[in-house]
Amino acid sequence: MSIYQTSYPELPLWQAGADTLLILKPYQMPVLLSLFALLVQRPALVTASTKPKNLLAAGYFLAESVCGPADSPMSDLVNLSSMTALEEATFGDYKKGSVSMTFESSNNSALSGSAADAEWDSFFPKNKGFISQDIENNTVLYSISGFHAMHCLDTARRVLEVHYNVASDASKNKVNTDAIYGSFYHLHHCLIYLREMVTCSADPVLKHIYFANGTASFGGDGTKHECRDFNALYNISDQSHEAAKMACGGSDE
């Protein structure tokens, strides 16, 4: 049986065939809606033939915090100790370093449509930001927080572009045909998650404010920030070959 499990207390909510069971935390039901989208969009994940081992999909909701491990109760198998050990082994050196980043004007980025889709897609590795870990007879799939946040931003962007009628056909199709992806609950989850990421970083760098005719204009272009190395994080995720195969439906493409 392939088991998709988040943590205890367990609530069997949905069953896709005789060999697949999804177990959710009751209070996480709105948040975990996007996991349904993952299962629907990646059918290879819900077949026992994909991998002889069980697959525990931690999805976007386990071992995510760059500020430290999550404090919610975990299942007996996916626990704080195993996640902390994996996080330290994978990101220990990464978390010790920083890089200087100069913020650029938003005018330098694609505004909307297919060009914006391509620009945003370039921030995701092939495996969409997942890593895996073998525990006993199971393979646990984790999402990296930075890419979860990027997913949330990209989701909000696509929904806004559809709302303002400037979206690509691909975004229109994704938002209008996927009841989960463009839902209020998914967006609410994403906004709260992004708020937590902002409070986690709590960047103290000052940004300048221009005054013209008594009207304030908030700038910030050209300011330097001490940041984590996103390119390094991208490479860590991109090099997780096994997770890439699972997240991309069984292939590297």
Q: Which amino acid is at 29?
A: M
Cα–Cα distance for residue pair 188/210, rounded to 1 Å: 32
Helix (H) or strand (E) holding 188: helix 184-201
- Comparing 30-44, 77-91, 121-135, which segment has the lowest mean pLDDT? 30-44
Bridge partners, residue 100, by sequence: 226
Cα–Cα distance for residue pair 88/175, rounded to 1 Å: 37
pLDDT at 239 over 80: yes
Cα–Cα distance for residue pair 155/149, rounded to 1 Å: 10
pLDDT score for 217:
66
Cα–Cα distance for residue pair 9/68, rounded to 1 Å: 22
Where in the chain are the domains? Answer: 2-247
- Look at residues 5, 12, 8, 18 and name the one whose alpha carbon lies nearest to residue 55: 5
Sequence-ordered list of residues with C-beta below 8 angstroms from that of 242, at least 6 positions apart, any chain: 132, 139
Query: For residue 226, what pLDDT band results from cuts at 50, 70 and 90?
Result: very high
pLDDT score for 119:
97
Count other Cβ atoms within 10 Å, centred on residue 220: 15
Structure-block tokens of residue 49? 């033939």
Structure-block tokens of residue 133? 């870990």
Give the count of alpha carbons within 13 A of 137, CB side only: 6
- Look at residues 123, 118, 125 and name the one whose alpha carbon lies nearest to residue 171: 118
pLDDT score for 244:
44
pLDDT 10s digits, 147-198: 999 999 999 999 999 999 999 999 999 999 998 999 999 999 999 999 999 9
Classified as helix, coil or strand, 135 is: strand
DSSP-derived secondary structure letter, 116: H
pLDDT score for 245:
54
Cα–Cα distance for residue pair 60/32, rounded to 1 Å: 8
More confident residue, 61 or 211: 211
More confident residue, 99 or 18: 99
Classified as helix, coil or strand, 76 is: coil
More confident residue, 31 or 231: 231
Helices assigned H by DSSP within 76-183? 80-96, 113-121, 145-163, 169-177
pLDDT score for 145:
93
- Comparing 20-24, 97-101, 111-115, 161-165, which segment has the lowest mean pLDDT? 20-24
pLDDT 10s digits, 14-66: 333 333 333 333 334 444 444 444 443 433 333 333 333 343 444 333 333 22
Query: For residue 134, what pLDDT band results from cuts at 50, 70 and 90?
Result: confident
Answer for the pair 66, 145: CB distance below 8 angstroms, yes or no: yes
More confident residue, 159 or 72: 159
- Comparing 3-7, 88-92, 201-205, 216-220, which segment has the lowest mean pLDDT? 3-7
